[in-house]
Amino acid sequence: MKNLKSWVLETRRANGVSLRVEQSHLLHIDVLDETLFRVSLQKDATWRLSRSWTIAPVGIEAPWDGRSRDDLTGFPCPRPEIVTHETEICLSTDTLRLKVKHPLQMIWEAKIDGQWREFVRDRATGGLHLGLRDHAHAHYLDRISGEPVFGLGEKTGPLNRTGKRYEMRNLDAMGYDAEHTDPLYKHVPFTMTRTQNAGCWSIFYDNLAGCWFDLGNELDNYHAPYRAYRAEDGDLDFYMSWAPELLELVKRQEQLTGGTAFPPRWSLGYSGSTMSYTDADDAQAQLEGFLSKIKTHDIPCDSFQMSSGYTSIGDKRYVFNWNDGKMPDPQGMAKRFADQQVHLIANIKPCLLQDHPRYTEVAEAKLFIQASAEADPQEGPERSVFWDDEGSHLDFTNPDTVQWWKSNVTSALLERGIGSTWNDNNEYEIWDHHAQCSGFGTGIDVGLMRPAMPILMTRASLDAQQAFAPEKRPYLISRSGAPGLQRYAQTWSGDNRTEWKTLRWNQRLGLGMSLSGFYNIGHDVGGFSGPCPEPELFVRWVQNGVFHPRFTIHSWNDDRTVNEPWMYPEVTDLIRDAIRLRYRLLPYIYTCLWQAATQSEPMLRPLFLDFGHDPETWNESDSFLLGRDLLIATVLDKGAQARAVYLPQHEGGWWEFHSGIWHAGGQWIEVPVTLATIPVFVRGGAVIPMGEGADRASPTSEKKRILAAFPAKGTALTSSPLYEDDGISRTPEWCVTHIDLESDATGLHLSTRRDGSGTPVLSDATIVLPADETRALVTPKEICL
């Protein structure tokens, strides 16, 4: 690759400039917002891929055929001050400034307390590299010792990515090591960096080709310490943002890529799943047996995710094929699930095996991605390894494929009573880089857009579901994808391995996804592959899983046992208690989901996201926040008799959720634990809305509303929201009850205010105070909502 050095000013625009680089290329700089700039490089003044499937500013619909890279719709695009000198050009807003120097080097500064402070710069010994005979490219930045780096989405290891190398190449990584394996299922080329005295900054590379991030693993004697982004193809097109704190950058990334879907409330209930049921010869009986068992064991449950065995012929799976021997009456089965208010979600895959009964039909219609001339002189469908055979992947950039898919989702699933889709095995492991996608009329190498295919697949499933039930909010799951997937679906961390360390490292992996704009996530509780979880591990996994947005117990154990709440009678009561705790907390969790969808608030939050002023929160931690107010510190170690918990500095202190004991913030405490202990703490000043008596996630199943008030010590006035609607409608009547809690040295007062045209699900609530609270409650303990 060539190091780009020379440049001249080519054009000035209202919101930026274009530079002519090395006499051939165009470097565009666009000011999109006060603290958001975009830099894009066109090799030979032409886009390699002129469209994006990740960028979709909130409120702007993402086009099916991709958003033009020249389209700035949805951004304010303020007019920057542009100053040119002989040796540099400078673009600035009131807060952010970019200097471009000779030889080509970009220096970024933020205005803090009236002074410009540099927060990052390109490596002086070559910042931008570009392939001479291909479109490979690289971006090198200075690396400052001690600056933590976060992001990159679904990555194993510590949340602070500094010192490691990571690859973006979507893979079906079944049984991965949750501490070390890389790459995994998702492509998220986004990082955030916290500087020592110049705030925080993020960079998002809008490129779907395979790429690598080196954040200090690599050293080179000829250069000062640096960090690198390298891509094998595509366009160098990045978004640079600055903010005083990380939370604003997290929210901006989520908004830049389309926001978060708002699924139905039942999606927050317990969801059963296992490969074993649908793999069995009597799959329908096994599935219907699950309904009997949740009733027998008194386990609340709202959905079941059907694995792909229902499509089998022999030992292989064939999407949209129903095995009538295993599943003689799908409609009847779906009705029995519906009668028990358990929603069915069916696994579907985007690849047809070469002996699929409909393979020839689909091939002749050219609905598959086509092999490159280099790989197949006949240029028929590409063929890749898939599920112990070979198959061809559907091309979702072909409108005919989209229509075929929607038709089959409708006829094979929706019309049989299965209302939701689980879009799985969609990593598109096609290694013929130049295999051709239709590209909605303009051919595209699959290597340029592999991670976009699962987004488009999921969107096709979404369109089918919305057309079939237009009045309901759809629910979808997708395993693979890139930024933008979250605007359509929930996701999870894939096929994890059953071992104790997975519990700890999956928790951090999920926080990494949340920091990267994927808020509605979870993990396979109990572990998917490998040995059967021992009883203690299973209990601890469930106790942890109930605090994640997606709570699914799923498995494919080596010994063909099934991870079920009742799998160990000696601990079934503890499993039931944990699941029932989740259902009690659903009003709070649903409010968090609403805040994610409407206010871009992460549901899962590392401690430093809200308490960054406390230095201790930046150290690796085994605790996290669910919403702003619940600190989750579940037990992650085998045989533990105590759990060390750090409580961040907070004037209101922290309350133990279960015991009602108060602790000052800014300290480590040690909590004695038994197998029944679920350590949860509440921020002082919070009111946690809860429901009693619910056996379903439906709001109408709640019998009693509890407002668990945890007052701040001393004098304080705080407010906590409770969002309510019918839980299913796309345009529901809704209301937000603002619960105001006022405290002083002698007493407590709680009052409510309401927004929205809807009414609360329950008209009154009981106020509950923690055991250690001695101040008098002025408000009656029964309050009208």
Mean pLDDT in residue range 607-627: 96
pLDDT at 130: 98
pLDDT-derived band at 20 (thresholds 50, 70, 90) equals very high
Say whether the peptide bond before residue 264 is cis (omega within 30 degrees of 0): no
Q: Which residues pair with 41 in a beta bridge?
A: 27, 236
What mean pLDDT is predicted for residues 608-633? 96
Amino acid, res. 636: L
Q: Residue 352: which pLDDT band, with cuts at 50, 70 and 90?
A: very high
For residue 605, the SS3 value is: strand
What pLDDT, on the 0 to 100 scale, is given for residue 622? 95
Using the predicted structure, report yes or no on whether residue 375 has a pLDDT greater than 80: no
Q: Give the contacts of 85 (CB within 8 A, at least 6 positions apart).
A: none
**Which residues are 39's β-sheet partners?**
29, 238
Query: Any idea of the CA torsion for 132, 137, 143, 149, to the nearest 10 degrees?
Result: -170
- Same CATH fold assignment for domains 2-152+189-256 and 269-349+401-426+450-586: no
Mean pLDDT across 120-138: 97
pLDDT for position 374:
81
The answer to whether residue 377 scores a pLDDT higher than 80 is no
pLDDT per position as a tens digit, 661-670:
999 999 999 9
Q: Which of 186, 189, 207 is nearest to 51 (CA)?
A: 207
The letter for the amino acid at 697 is A
Q: What angle (nearest 5°) sits at the alpha carbon of residue 705, between those of residues 704 and 707? A: 145
The answer to whether the CB of 371 falls within 8 A of the CB of 431 is no
- Extents of the domains making up the chain: 2-152+189-256, 269-349+401-426+450-586, 686-784
Beta-carbon neighbour count of residue 125 at 10 Å?
14
Could you tell me where the beta strands, DSSP code E, fall in 526-657?
Answer: 529-530, 550-553, 556-557, 604-605, 624-626, 630-632, 642-647, 654-656
Position 179 confidence tier, pLDDT thresholds 50, 70, 90 = very high
Query: Mean pLDDT over residues 140-157, rounded?
Result: 97
Give the pLDDT band of residue 606 (cuts 50, 70, 90): very high
In the predicted model, what is the mean pLDDT of the chain?
A: 97
Q: Please report, rounded to a whole number, the percentage of residues in the chain having pLDDT higher than 90.
A: 96
Contacts of 113 (CB under 8 A, 6+ apart): none
Edge-to-edge strand list for the sheet holding 550-553? 476-478, 420-423, 343-348, 303-306, 271-274, 550-553, 522-525
Give the C-alpha separation, 412 to 385, whole Å: 25
Mean pLDDT within 759-783 = 92
| Torsion, CA 438, CA 440, CA 446, CA 447, rounded to 10 | 150
Amino acid 288: pLDDT = 97
CATH class assigned to 686-784: mainly beta
Q: What is the CATH number of domain 269-349+401-426+450-586?
A: 3.20.20.80
Q: 58-76 burial, b for 16+ CB within 10 Å, e for fewer?
A: eeeebeeebbebeebebbe
Q: Which of 632, 578, 586 is nearest to 605 (CA)?
A: 632
pLDDT range class, residue 621, cuts 50, 70, 90: confident
The pLDDT of residue 373 = 85
- The per-residue pLDDT for 376 is 73
Fold of domain 2-152+189-256: Immunoglobulin-like (2.60.40)
The reported pTM is 0.97
For the cut 90, the answer to whether the pLDDT of residue 620 exceeds it is no
User: pLDDT tens across 469-485, in order?
Assistant: 999 999 999 999 999 99
Q: How far apart are CA 472 and CA 527, in angstroms?
A: 32
676, amino acid identity:
A
383-426 residue pLDDT tens: 999 988 999 999 999 999 999 999 999 999 999 999 999 999 99
pLDDT in tens, 298-323: 999 999 999 999 999 999 999 999 99
**Cα(188)–Cα(253) distance, integer angstroms:** 11
Give the SS3 label for residue 364: helix
